[in-house]
Amino acid sequence: QVQLVESGGGVVQPGRSLRLSCSASGFTFSHYGMHWVRQAPGKGLEWVAFISFDGTDIYYSDSLKGRFTVSRDNSKNTVYLQINSLRTEDTSMFYCARERFDPWGQGTLVTVSS
C-alpha cells in the first residue's frame, strides 16, 4: 500500500538547522511531485513547499521562502526538507504528502526551544 513516513524531527535550539526526511513506498516515487505541510500546535495547516517528480520545479510559500529548502533523491524514494535558522515559531508537526495531497504521512514533530 502507499505509505509515507517522515523522520528527522526532534527538539532543536533556536538558530540551528534540521533536515527532515519523508520515505515513500508502495508507488513509483519518481512519477510524483511531493509536498511539505506544517501545523503548529493547536493551529491550522500551512503549505510549505512542493517539488516536482524530477526535482526541476520547486515552489515555496511566500512567507517561508529563504530558510526552507526542499530536495529529493529518487534513487532512495525520499524527499527532504532542510530548515535553517530555526525559530521558536517553527515548532510544528511537519507532514509530507503526495502530489494531489493524497496520501499524507503521519508527520514528524519539530520543537524549537532553548
Binding site for another protein (CB under 8 A): 35, 37, 44-47, 50, 59, 61-62, 95, 100-107
Shortest reach from residue 10's CB to another protein, in Å: 19
- Identity of the residue, 62 or 89, whose beta carbon is nearer to another protein in the bound complex: 62
- Identity of the residue, 12 or 107, whose beta carbon is nearer to another protein in the bound complex: 107
Indicate the helix (H) or strand (E) that contains 92: strand 92-98
Shortest reach from residue 65's CB to another protein, in Å: 10
From 50, 88, 87, 92, select the one nearest 69 (Cα to Cα): 50
From 98, 93, 47, select the one nearest 77 (Cα to Cα): 98
